[in-house]
């Protein structure tokens, strides 16, 4: 390893199990010398194996509902106490659609479900950053990263209202990124990752077929959760100090490929 994060301290949201990108990122950050607090919603913590990750990385866990300002204030205050100072990096790896879970089609949304998913998946990112900003909790040249998907730019029918959530998430990154950059020299970016077989991702209808399609469309193949963890580490490091307000496609070239020969051959007579 390269000690890219030696001496750096952070908070990682959303580690559920070993399939999750946040889990892989936590392991990778640990390998690179970083220390961090793990956090997730209490209900998610009961479903996952986050204690195993904490034990492996020597980290503490602070339960927090990322939609609750009170929980976030407590999380950030306690994290700085545990870590011994301000924060250098934050990963927001949170997403949830009740409409998807309940099988509601995009044209037949339950708007209470929509609001809940929007709050968890997108507005929570603003709440996290607003709390960090108001508490002056980020070190200069710190880095904040959220995970997104290119359904924010292109239509993937079964991605449902999560596409709208991701579009809003990316807009928040740009808008808050401006103020965090101007006022505190902190950078804010989103990573638009390949479809990845996380516990949450596999809840999307037809997900297995879509992963296979993306693999054939991408010149370098799909980026795995481990690949994304590696990329996230570079964004947390000092090697990317002037990268901010960007939506960074990490998808093996999928986002810039109109059609691949493999897909053409699939449909030729």
Q: How many domains does the chain divide into?
A: 1
| Residue from 111, 149, 168, 213 carrying the catalytic annotation | 149
In a domain, 4, yes or no: no
In a domain, 253, yes or no: yes
Q: How far is CA 117 from the centre of its chain?
A: 15
Q: Does residue 102 have a known ligand-binding role? A: no
- Domain assignment of residue 202, given as a range: 9-267
**Block residue for tokens 């709440």:** 127
In the three-class reduction of DSSP (H, G, I as helix; E, B as strand; rest coil), residue 218 is classed as coil
In a domain, 2, yes or no: no
- Judge whether 168 counts as a catalytic residue: no
pLDDT single digits (tens) 70-119: 999 999 999 999 999 999 999 999 999 999 999 999 999 999 999 999 99
- Judge whether 106 counts as a catalytic residue: no
Looking up residue 209, the CATH number of its domain turns out to be: 3.40.50.720
* Long-range contacts formed by 147-150: CB under 8 A, 24+ apart: 147/21, 147/91, 147/92, 147/93, 147/95, 147/190, 147/191, 147/193, 147/228, 148/190, 148/191, 148/192, 148/193, 148/247, 149/192, 149/193, 149/195, 150/192, 150/249, 150/251, 150/254, 150/255
In a domain, 250, yes or no: yes
Q: Does residue 172 have a known ligand-binding role? A: no
In a domain, 3, yes or no: no
pLDDT single digits (tens) 181-208: 999 999 999 999 999 987 666 556 667 7
Alpha helix (H) residue ranges in 6-103: 21-31, 42-47, 50-57, 69-83, 98-101
pLDDT score, position 91: 98
- Quick one: which of 221, 232, 206, 224 has its CA closest to 262? 221
What mean pLDDT is reported for the chain? 95
């Amino acid at each position: 390893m390269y000690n890219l994060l030696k001496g750096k301290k952070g908070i990682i949201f959303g580690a559920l199990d070993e399939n999750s990108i946040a889990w892989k990122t936590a392991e990778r950050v640990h390998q690179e010398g970083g220390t961090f607090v793990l956090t997730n919603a209490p209900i998610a913590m009961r479903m996952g194996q986050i204690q195993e990750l904490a034990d492996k990385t020597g980290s503490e866990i602070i339960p927090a509902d990322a939609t609750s300002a009170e929980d976030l204030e407590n999380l950030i205050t306690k994290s700085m106490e545990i870590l011994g100072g301000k924060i250098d990096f934050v990963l927001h790896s949170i997403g949830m659609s009740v409409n998807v879970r309940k099988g509601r089609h995009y044209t037949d949304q339950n708007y209470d479900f929509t609001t809940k998913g929007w709050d968890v998946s997108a507005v929570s990112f603003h709440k996290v950053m607003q709390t960090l900003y108001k508490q002056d909790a980020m070190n200069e040249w710190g880095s904040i990263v959220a995970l997104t998907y290119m359904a924010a730019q292109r239509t993937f029918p079964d991605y449902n209202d999560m596409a709208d959530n991701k579009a809003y998430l990316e807009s928040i990154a740009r808008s808050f990124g401006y103020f965090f950059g101007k006022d505190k020299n902190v950078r804010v970016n989103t990573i638009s990752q390949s479809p990845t077989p996380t516990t949450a991702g596999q809840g999307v209808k037809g997900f297995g077929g879509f992963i296979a399609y993306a693999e054939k469309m991408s010149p370098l193949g799909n980026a795995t959760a481990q690949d994304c963890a590696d990329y996230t580490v570079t964004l947390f490091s000092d090697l990317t100090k002037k990268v901010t307000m960007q939506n960074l496609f990490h998808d093996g070239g999928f986002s810039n490929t109109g059609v691949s020969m493999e897909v053409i051959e699939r449909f030729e007579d």
